[in-house]
Structure 1
Amino acid sequence: MDFLDFISREFKVLFISALPVVELRGGIPFAIAMGMNPIHAAVLCIIGSMIPVPFLLFFLKPFFAKLRRISIIRRLEVWLINRTERKAKNIKKYSLLGLILFVAIPLPSTGVWTGSVAAALFNFRIRNAFLAIFIGNIIAATIITFLSQLAAMNI
């Protein structure tokens, strides 16, 4: 029974970290609040949040190309592109370093999902984009783990 509880706890953390918007910014505090070791939580959340990245990088551009044929979807795509370009202007300016920093700074509407969309829109090479997102995600995990551990110690 303890092993099943362990697996389900790990799965919950992986799943939460893979969700858009929440990502590891919500997964790490959740895991630490459940009593998980902070390093273990950070590693699981990095893995969980990186799970969707290859799929996003490989399939976003072809997906948008197919959907572009539908006028309502085309308007949604234009809105998404404009929103991403506004939020990610430093990515365009600083290229991969900008992508690393964009993913690393733990603010709302930054992270691996938005970074992957930006990388696809700005035509970054998939390998380079994945590495930049991974590095940024490790930095974000370090910051969130530190802040979550600090908050847990003060409670």
Structure 2
Amino acid sequence: MFLDILVAMLWSISPFGEAKLGLPYALLNDINIYLAFVLCFFANVMVFPVMTFFLDVVNRYLLKWYHYKKAAIFVGRRAKSGAGKNVEKYGFWGLMFFVLLPIPGTGVYAGTIASYLFGMEKKKAFLANTIGIFISCLIVWVTTVIAIGGFN
């Protein structure tokens, strides 16, 4: 069970699935439905401070290298094009809505990058990302619980 919880949390912090993959993994491996929600949610929330540190400190140093800079510009453009219209027009609410969509490419990683690129205040960006993650987790959690047999 501990290994399943650890894997679910690792999926929840992974940019390849976030809690959209961690929650179903935990629930399909018979982890308590409430424990799975809380752990996957908090694991996904922890991405924001790590990404913020990376963007503020590490990114500035790595931009000196051509190949990294080229990749960073590509990722930045993708995040800006995906969330740009919402964040630019609606600010906090646009970012929150972008992050809450439980579809690939709209999670906390893209939301953090978009808030960084648009110069959003970190406290507001954190709150928007956290609320978005919570709603996204709620959607995935309820859908998965219902799909595997309900709230027994």
Q: TM-score, normalised by structure 2?
A: 0.89
- Secondary structure of the corresponding residue to residue 129 of structure 1: helix
Please state if 1:16 is matched with 2:11: yes
Please state if 1:142 is matched with 2:138: yes
CA distance in 1 between partners of 2:148 and 2:66 (Å): 49
CA distance in 1 between partners of 2:56 and 2:71 (Å): 14
- How much has 1:108 moved relative to structure 2? 0.8
> Given the alignment, which residue of 77, 88, 94 partners 1:92?
88
Which residue of the partner structure matches residue 48 of structure 2? 53
Q: Which has the larger radius of gyration?
A: 1
Runs of 5+ unmatched residues, structure 1? none
CA distance in 2 between partners of 1:142 and 1:52 (Å): 18
Which residue of the partner structure matches residue 117 of structure 1? 113
- How much has 1:72 moved relative to structure 2? 2.6
- How much has 1:11 moved relative to structure 2? 1.9
Q: After the TM superposition, list the runs of 4 or more consecutive aligned residues in structure 1 that deviate by more than 4 angstroms.
A: none
- How much has 1:132 moved relative to structure 2? 1.0
- How much has 1:8 moved relative to structure 2? 2.8
- Secondary structure of the corresponding residue to residue 75 of structure 2: helix
- Secondary structure of the corresponding residue to residue 20 of structure 1: coil
Please state if 1:75 is matched with 2:56: no
Runs of 5+ unmatched residues, structure 2? none
- Secondary structure of the corresponding residue to residue 149 of structure 2: helix
CA distance in 2 between partners of 1:141 and 1:18 (Å): 13
Which residue of the partner structure matches residue 65 of structure 1? 60
Letter in 2 for 1:95: G
Q: TM-score, normalised by structure 1?
A: 0.87
- How much has 1:67 moved relative to structure 2? 2.4
Report which stretch shifted further, 138-147 or 88-97: 88-97
Identity of aligned residues (%): 29
**Structure 1 vs Structure 2 CA RMSD:** 1.7
